[in-house]
A and B are shown apart, each in its own frame.
Chain A
Amino acid sequence: MHSFGYRLNGLLTFAVTILALMCAITSLSDNFNTPSPSAEIKIMNINWFQKQPQGHDEVSLTMNVSADLQSLFTWNTKQVFIFVAAEYETRKNSLNQVSLWDAIIPAKEHAKFWIHTSNKYRFVDQGNNLRGKKFNLTLHWHVMPKTGKMSADKIVLTGYSLPEEYR
């Protein structure tokens, strides 16, 4: 009953149980955080707007993204993954979401930022429906914790539109 094996087994079981409990409590502590993020995106320029050889529309644009996401960080946050997506509707598709740019924010100090960039990923439609298209730009963020439950949310910015003609 008191052999080395039994003691080791009891110790290990206890240690693993306590560790699991600590991870769960750490994750629960994230629920006490009420985030209040803000963001603004301005499209500075439509660089070009063409129909590809395969028949799909493609746009290249430059935008200015500024955001303050510092309130999303807690002691249990490892990083926040953010991306900007264009969302629009076409005749065939009720929803299209195309990610244009993403970044990883590793720490709270980097969470208040301003960036001037062209789209990192190609803005290609499934078809050629983009002429004169109205679309929303959404800034999504994904909070990845050191341990536990992940959470994600977004800000929707409306009122953007593409030119009527290719250029």
Chain B
Amino acid sequence: MGWIGDTVDSIKSIQIRQLLTQVVSLGMIVTSALIIWKGLMCVTGSESPVVVVLSGSMEPGFKRGDILFLHMSKDPIRAGEIVVFNIDGREIPIVHRVIKVHERQDTGEVDVLTKGDNNYGDDRLLYAQGQQYLQRHHIMGRAVGFLPYVGWVTIIMTEKPIIKYILIGALGLLVITSKD
């Protein structure tokens, strides 16, 4: 009960300068997180250097909720690599293994077929209408490392957005009411 009274008092006693300082420090935190994210994008050469595994198609190797670190180098794509790719028209990236590679003599372009370790058939059913293979431009990166369970935070926040709002609301309240 006293805590609520303190909160109301501290909101009433906010001065403009103090408020501005807090807004700027919040802005600094957000922008430094953005800088780190964009820096990671440059270093790994991939549009999204970290992805969360959303389905069980690569079990038991990768379970739902694991996160994968991606890297995209100019090295050619070879069978056995675990790649993350986007299908035209679908927004969710898919993490599967390359099982077939056909590389052209003249241009060096590749046709790639993928399959999830835990799936019975290859990914042709997932590709767009009439698409038999993936090309390099579909692929966002190769998986080079992974951490188990850490991705559950992202999954929970995406599937139950109410938790995201509660978290942001609580953080905002904390920032406003903190004495320093």
User: Which A residues lie at the B interface, using CB under 8 A?
Assistant: 5, 23, 27, 78-79, 81, 83, 85, 91-99, 102, 104, 106, 121, 126, 140, 142, 144-150, 152, 154
Cα–Cα distance between A97 and B145 once the two chains are bound (Å): 24
B: interface residue count bin = 20 to 34
Query: In the bound complex, do residue A150 and residue B60 qualify as a contact, i.e. CB atoms below 8 Å apart?
Result: no
Contact of A140 among B60, B79, B147 (CB under 8 A): B79
User: Which B residues lie at the A interface, using CB under 8 A?
Assistant: 60-62, 78-82, 97, 99-105, 108, 111, 117, 122, 143-148, 174
A147-B146 contact, Cβ under 8 Å, with A97-B79, A126-B111 = yes
Query: In the bound complex, do residue A96 and residue B101 qualify as a contact, i.e. CB atoms below 8 Å apart?
Result: yes
Contact of A81 among B61, B101, B108 (CB under 8 A): B61
Give the interface SS of chain A, mostly helix, strand, loop or mixed: strand
Q: What are 26 of the A-B contact pairs (CB < 8 Å)?
A: A5-B174, A78-B60, A78-B61, A79-B61, A81-B117, A93-B104, A95-B102, A96-B101, A97-B101, A98-B79, A99-B79, A99-B99, A102-B117, A106-B60, A126-B111, A142-B97, A144-B62, A147-B146, A147-B147, A148-B145, A148-B146, A148-B147, A149-B144, A149-B145, A150-B146, A152-B80
